[in-house]
Structure 1
Amino acid sequence: MDKFIVSARKYRPQTFDTVVGQAHITTTLKNAIRQNQLAHAFLFCGPRGVGKTTCARILAKTINCEHSTADGEACNECPSCISFNQGTSLNIHELDAASNNSVDDIRTLVDQVRFAPQAGRYKVYIIDEVHMLSSSAFNAFLKTLEEPPPYAIFILATTEKHKILPTILSRCQIFDFKRITTGDTVAHLEAICEKEGVKAEQAALQTIAQKSEGCMRDALSIMDKIVSFTNGELNYTNTLEHLNILDEDYYFKLLEDMLQQDLSGAMLLYDDINRKGFEGDLVLNGFAAFIRNLLVSKDEKVVALLDTVESFKQKYLEAAQKTPVSFLISALNILNESEVNYRAARNKRLHVELTLIKLCYLQQAMELTAGDTGLLKKKIAEKAVSVPFKRIQPVLLKQPSGTAPDDVVARHEPEARGSRLIIEEPAPRPAAPPPPKAATAARKIGSLEKLRQQFKETHVELEDHPLTQEALEEAWSAFIVLLKESKNSAAQSFDLAQLKVLDGNSFYVYTANAIEYRFIETSKTQASEFLQKKLSNSQLQFYIIKRENREVAESSEPRPLTAVQQYQKMIEKYPLVKELKEKLKMELDR
């Protein structure tokens, strides 16, 4: 009994012409060999199973062939080609970088490069999965890769080009392998089936090619499994069963039920699918791909993108003609959202059934939201409308003496139940016409002067009088009387305090303990306002000092605060003062 060899190894290409789907690379390599313009380092990158290592071996065999053909192919008859086919060639060295990725492995390879080949023209070093090398190994390989001996050629192969250092990429000729198309895969599988005497249906081979996703090695492995499973007969039904793929006829039936809004039929059909062991996410993903194919079939320009077996193409075209585009796009959105949320769902079956319910009533929902001219856009939220209030007529109040006639007005509602609400607020002025553009700048400049003028009209400036000890004590006593009349507990602390004039606008208040200090500090604002009016000094201020003895020590007296310090204390208590200063662009006196 002969030993079985898998198709991926048995039918591995031996020449450039037999490589499937990489004509752009094989043609370049053959021309380089024929014109004797070989680079010293190549980098083959691309998806798995598309022929990177195969092309590297063919290149190594061809450049050492003693009787290469005119188009740059190996003869497969000379001693060098025979030894290569038998795996005994000493001029080809393969290194798996996935398991030999240390610095010592690369140093061993570099030591071998120093020796010239005993037979043939070149020594070829094929390093597979080169992205697995460590950074130290890459650095140890740099010098040799940049300036190798004239007889050494390096071929690096990788599936992850982005993991390779830029210094390595700059020293290599880069060849990007592409995925093998479905048509090329099917043709290659048909040729192998013919050689092996396997009966294969076209639809089954197309399904295998789609499942392999451009990887020839996977396609050959899948075909070997199905041939063993079916005892040498490859048909569409057995292929679907072995690959766990849901037949597209189920999707066509689901679509028909949804267009007819037959929920019971769709639920029973999904129950049949579920009984066959297909998971819900597989159903959602397959149905989304089915809707995508229908959407592609709507336009003749992109019908070539329809990725399905030949027997279903006409069926797709017929189904696409009777399905609205709006339904297909909405269904894709629903399926995509459902597939994303499938993992988080606790009841998987209920999650899929809810999606089917939405799809079954999708057509009805679209008809309800359709207008005379087609499908309506998303409803726009209504703009905010102000709450209607009853208009209240303004009523002028009696003006107090010294007040401008337009300063105070009153609005009131009609009397209700013997009561009346009066709200004092500034009277509404008639809207002035917009000023011309030329006067806009002048209006901005004069706004500050206008504000100052209004302030002067409504406020009477006080003439400041210098502070004296006698006047201070008299005013202080008057404030104490006021506190006692209002039964304020701070009156006693004010009575026990001692005063000392500092200058014409400030004085010290000495307290005997912390309790007196707190009482005076609490009423400081009220006392300042009273003393300023009583002594006719708007800049009057005082400082509270706590001490244990009654003697006034000149050395312990605090220095008066500067204008900046006063301003800092002021904005700590009244933050709006800072905002007013910035708006009026005022500056502090230094």
Structure 2
Amino acid sequence: MEHFVVSARKYRPQTFKDVVGQQAITNTLLNAIEHNHLAQALLFTGPRGVGKTTCARILAKKINQDDNQDPNEDFAFNIFELDAASNNSVDDIRNLIDQVRIPPQVGKYKVYIIDEVHMLSQAAFNAFLKTLEEPPKHAIFILATTEKHKIIPTILSRCQIFDFKRITVKDAKEYLGYIAEQEGVNAEDDALHIIAQKADGAMRDALSIYDRVVSFSGKDLTRQAVTENLNVLDYDSYLTATELILNNDIPQLLMLYNEILSHGFDGHHFIAGLASHFRDLLVCQNPKTIALLEVGENTKALYFAQAQKASAQFLLKGIELANECDLQYKSSRNQRLLVELCLMQLASLTFEGEKKKDSSFIIPATHFTKPPAPAPALKLSKKEKEVIVGNEYSQGDSAPPRESQVPTARPEQQEKDCAPAVAEPEPQPLEKQEEPEEANSEKNVTSEAPSAEPTPETEEINTTTEPAIAKRTVSGLSLKSIQTKKELEAQKREARKEEVIEKNGKFTEDEMQEAWFEFASEQNEKGEKILASIMQTDTPILKGKQIWIELPNETMKLELEKVQYHLMGFMKEKLQNTHIQLEVSINEKAERKFAFTPIEKFEKLKEKNPLLEKLRSTFDLDI
């Protein structure tokens, strides 16, 4: 069996031209060698698998080559590689320093490549400082690391730093296509694109994935084989899900998500990919941003076609909902329900935006063209009617209601609260026998209730409140309906108050001031000392229907405006007028009215009670 060499080693670049995706760095190094501007200490930093160590080896070989030498000479005796992850002590650095002093036997330079240099200890870094700053002429140090922030600043300041970037999807796909051609593998463009995306900018990872997929599929590398082997969601799934979302097809959308979960995919991965899919559709809508779409040419046409069906507003809202679900996924206890709720919200976006069109309703409007059939009349027993009458009488009415005022249940209430009492379409003999008793009970109810003629005021109020409140009726056969009746009676009483207030609208300034200070006194008794003090700061005056009060600063005004609703409700009820308004003005000079010294306090008190002056003079008191 022939020994297999992985593609990452077999196709490792041997010249700077072969390096993928790092043209800026390779051109800089070539020019530095050509013009003899190469520094003696270099630091290569960047993500894993982007060519740092490869470029270091190519550079070490390049600087020792002459025109007369064999281009395949690797100068292995002049290149020393040190793994700082396992040789990170001070002794290892001291041995390296001892070797640096010896000049090379072949070639011009001895190149020391220290990989993962950030793993060196603090003492090893300090021991390496002097040699790194002033190395011999024949020595060049190339340091490579993935974590530049862990290297001490004194080392960084002595090195010429080269930042390697991630390999783009396009460059990785082209290099994978070149390798597939060399190996005789028939690879689809979309399959190579998925591998390049999965590698996440690392060429070594892309080659490792490529070897695994080729081992699975053989010489024919298809998109389906790649997605199956790598366990990644294909873009077809997202295109189908988006199509269902745009069509408001919630049942099929939930079934698609269930199928995705049954294939072993994670819901978190699905919702994150859906957000990325919406982003790709969004960049397709503008010719300036279409270059940001990193997909194959065949896939780009599908994305562009679906992008025309979705509005930018829908895509932005979809990204927001999917991103919110992504953030809440790990903290959610029912993660599947969270994703399903997000999908239903997404499928409802376009439905809510076209709610006025009949054709866009999930449930057709024809289902509601026929009005619901009226429910049969509710039959009440004598005991139930006594409960209703007694309840209304307990609300404080002048007399029990007449038979015509007994509320009848609405159809929906009959079906919900009183279903057992609804008559059948064909009454049974038992119900026919109960009818005379019910008729007699109705007569008894009306006869037992004392007759009372309504007052003129009550009649006038009922004419105004009847359309809005009095027409509302509820069933009296449940606790919930009894509570609803109490609320209706309260609303009727409030309506009566409003009517009375509207009719009696005349009041004097003294009555207004008396009501004002009465409210302040009530607040004082409730413990609202500050509010009571603010209201007593100045005496309000009446200007037409407006109550004017002058306060010394903005803080007092804000405190008074916080209770303006309750204050004006009290004043309107007390003065029996709904048109009065409160106006608060600020006069900073009014602050001088406050008494701070003992003499000023005594003068204030003397204004209210002149006998205090007589008391002070009689007993010769000091202030």
2:509 and 2:541 in contact (8 A); partners too:
no
Deviations 1:126-149 (A, max 9, x none): 001111112221111111100011
SS at match of 1:66: coil
2:148 to 152, 155, 161: 161
| Equivalent of 1:428 in 529, 534, 540 | 540
Q: Could you list the per-position Cα deviations for residues 257-296 of structure 1 after superposition, in whole angstroms to 9, with x for gaps in the alignment?
A: 1111111111222222222111111211221111111011
Change (3 A) 1:317 1:396: closer
Q: Tell me the percent identity.
A: 50
Partner of 1:21: 21
Equivalent residue for 2:214?
227
- Per the normalisation by structure 1, the TM-score is 0.64
Deviations 1:38-80 (A, max 9, x none): 2110011111111000000011011111327xxxxx9524xxx
1:538 is the counterpart of 2:533:
no
CA distance in 2, matches of 1:207, 1:21: 18
Pair 1:243 & 2:230 matched = yes
Partner of 2:71: 76
Contact 1:392 1:413 in 2 (8 A): no
Residue 289 of structure 2 aligns to a residue whose secondary structure is helix
* 1:125/1:532 CA distance change after superposition, 3 Å: farther
Tell me how far apart the structure 1 counterparts of residues 90 and 589 of structure 2 sit (CA, whole Å): 77
Higher-Rg member (1/2) = 1
- Secondary structure of the corresponding residue to residue 25 of structure 1: helix
Once the two structures are TM-superposed, the CA of residue 538 in structure 1 deviates from its matched residue by 2.3
- The one-letter amino acid of 2:94's match is R
Amino acid at match of 1:538: D
What CA distance in whole angstroms lies between the structure 1 residues aligned with 2:515 and 2:275? Answer: 67
* CA distance in 1: counterparts of 2:124 and 2:208, whole angstroms: 34
Shift of 1:12: 0.6
Counterpart pick for 2:309 among 322, 325, 331: 322
Match of 1:138?
A: 125
Aligned equivalents of 2:594, 2:270: Cα separation in 1 = 77
| Residue 33 (structure 1) aligned with residue 36 (structure 2) | no
Alignment of 1:89-108 (within 5 A): 89-108=76-95
**C-alpha RMSD of matched pairs (Å):** 3.5
SS at match of 2:170: helix
The letter for the 1-side match of 2:622 is: S
1:393 Cα offset (Å) = 4.3
* Partners of 1:206 and 1:309 within 8 A in 2: yes
1:575-590 equivalence runs, <5 A: none
Corresponding position of 1:464: none
Matched, 1:281 2:268: yes
In the alignment, which of 340, 344, 348 is matched to residue 353 of structure 1? 340
CA distance in 1, matches of 2:67, 2:56: 19
Matches within 5 A, 1:153-192: 153-192=140-179
Structure 1: how far apart are the matches of 2:131 and 2:176? 42
Q: Which residue of the partner structure matches residue 114 of structure 1?
A: 101
Instruction: Identify, as 1 or 2, the structure richer in helix.
Output: 2
Query: Amino acid of the residue matched to residue 48 of structure 2?
Result: R
**For residues 180 and 533 of structure 1, do their structure 2 counterparts lie closer, same or farther at Cα, with a shift above 3 Å needed?**
same
Partner residue of 2:180 out of 182, 186, 193? 193
User: Judging changes above 3 Å, is the alpha-carbon distance between structure 1 residues 270 and 460 closer, same or farther for their aligned structure 2 residues?
Assistant: closer
Aligned partners of 1:394 and 1:412 also within 8 Å: no
Q: TM-score, normalised by structure 2?
A: 0.61
Distance 1:259 1:396 in 2: 68
Mapped contact 1:410–1:427 kept (Cα < 8 A): no
Q: Classify the secondary structure of the residue corresponding to 1:37.
A: coil
Whole-Å Cα distance in 1 between the matches of residues 264 and 593 of structure 2?
Answer: 86
Residues 392, 412 of structure 1: 8 Å contact kept: no
1:428 is displaced (CA, Å) by 2.4
Displacement of 1:338 after TM fit? 0.9
Seen in structure 2, the aligned counterparts of structure 1 residues 348 and 409 have a Cα distance that, compared at 3 Å, is: closer
Contact map agreement 1:204 1:235 (CA 8 A) in 2: yes
Aligned residues: 416
Residue deviations 1:393-436 (CA, integer Å, cap 9, x gap): 45659xxxxxxxxxx9744899xxxxxxxx996642577999xx
Give 1:253 shift. Answer: 1.5
Cα deviation, residue 10, structure 1: 0.7
- CA distance in structure 2 between the partners assigned to 1:234 and 1:264 by the alignment: 35
- Asked if 1 retains the 8 angstrom alpha-carbon contact of 2:539 and 2:549, the reply is no
Q: Once the 2 structures are TM-superposed, how far is the Cα of residue 446 of structure 1 from its aligned partner?
A: 10
Q: Does 2:299 align with 1:312?
A: yes
Tell me the distance in 1 between the aligned counterparts of 2:17 and 2:189.
24
**Equivalent position SS for 2:20:** coil
CA distance in 1, matches of 2:239, 2:101: 66
Residues 8/459 of structure 1: CA separation in 2 closer, same or farther (3 Å cut): closer
In 2, Cα distance between equivalents of 1:534 and 1:102:
99
